[in-house]
Amino acid sequence: MRLNGRYILSWLALKSNGSKKLSPSPRTLVSRIWAVGLISALLSALVYGISGLAFAYDDGAKAFEARPLVAYALSNDGDNIIGQLRTYQIKKGETLLDIARRYDLTAREVSEANHGLDWWQPPVGRTIVLPTEWIIPPGPRQGVVLNIPEMRLYYFPGHVGPHPKKGGLKHVAFVGDSTVYTFPVGLGRYDWRTPIGAFRVRGKTVNPTWVVPDDIYQEHLERDGEAEHVVPGGVPDNPLGLYRIELTLPQYAIHGTDTPWGIGMETSHGCVRLYPEDIKRLFYKVKIGTPGRFVYYPVKFGWRGGGLYVEVHRDIYGRYPGLWQFALNQAKLMGVADKIDHQKLEKAITEETGVPTYVMQGENPDNLSAGR
């Protein structure tokens, strides 16, 4: 509905004509016209303000795209923690969504690292922890590795090529290098869970067209009263964004998004979504044939400088009724069960901050342990 001076004047005229009262006096008419002018001015200011927000968002998107891409070096001495915690002082008018995307994090990660900090009105002037430190998930460090509870993707670059086998046969091998990149993601809802499994990258598409699956079409139709069977590539409201990486997992892909605030949430129908600036970078780095895995580790153990740490995340799909037992099983598999201070581990499991936390006896040897 258009709300402008002409519409409101027409509405006033209709109200007046439909009334059995006498026509309004000149003074009343002037008052009404003045009110209409005021309302129009307010509406214009509102529209201008929204436009200003749009321009500000465009500027912000450009700033996000200019954010440096960090390649973390992998250690050869048994350490498997990358990055380093940072701190940030909240400024007036900032939300956690603003702060998080600036550092390639999500509002959820920042909130949980700071014990449930409010997303929308974080306390101005408070110094918070930025969880820019991670334990690498267990398993082969090859290609794309997504840890579902963590809602974070790790990309181990390398090259794909033929590898000779006995009998003259060949198969594709992936040879990795000594670095890793990491990106936050959005995942499938509880009723459309992102699956666990291995895959390979089978294709890549710029400006992908979204052919809406029938079950999703029916869901949108029931929810909104209307739906589309096909969303063209490159349009602003295409949920695939501008880049899509196709996988050998049927019906699943890694792609961008038209709603960046959904990164760090379970909002998709199972696919993996990245910030627009992140999917663009990953798209041009990953090669067709690259291997990958979707894994599920709500608890990860890691080493750095002889110290043992644990990183605990929410069990978003409810796979493990008790994270304590899962943590103990993981510790046994790694052979570190006898090195753990159980009180520290229990505290870390209770808090679920997603921040690597020292769990051995005694003081944390890391001098930069703020927030642990």
Please identify every residue annotated as catalytic. 255, 271
User: For residue 199, which amino acid is it?
Assistant: F
Query: Dihedral angle at the C-alpha atoms of 38, 44, 50, 55, nearest 10 degrees?
Result: -140
Q: What is the spatial distance between Cα 128 and Cα 130, in angstroms, rounded to a whole number? A: 7
Cross-strand partners of 300: 311
Q: Which of helix, strand or coil describes residue 110?
A: helix
What are the C-alpha distances in Å from 135 to residues 10, 222, 251? Answer: 65, 42, 29
Q: What is the spatial distance between Cα 33 and Cα 28, in angstroms, rounded to a whole number? A: 9
- Length of the chain counted residue by residue: 372
Q: What is the spatial distance between Cα 112 and Cα 320, in angstroms, rounded to a whole number? A: 20
Q: What is the spatial distance between Cα 263 and Cα 266, in angstroms, rounded to a whole number? A: 8
> Is the separation of the CB atoms in 201 and 282 below 8 Å?
no
Taking the CB of residue 144, how many other CB atoms lie within 10 A of it?
Answer: 22
Q: What is the spatial distance between Cα 371 and Cα 133, in angstroms, rounded to a whole number? A: 12
- Please report how the helices 276-285 and 26-65 are oriented relative to each other, as an axis angle in degrees rounded to 10: 30
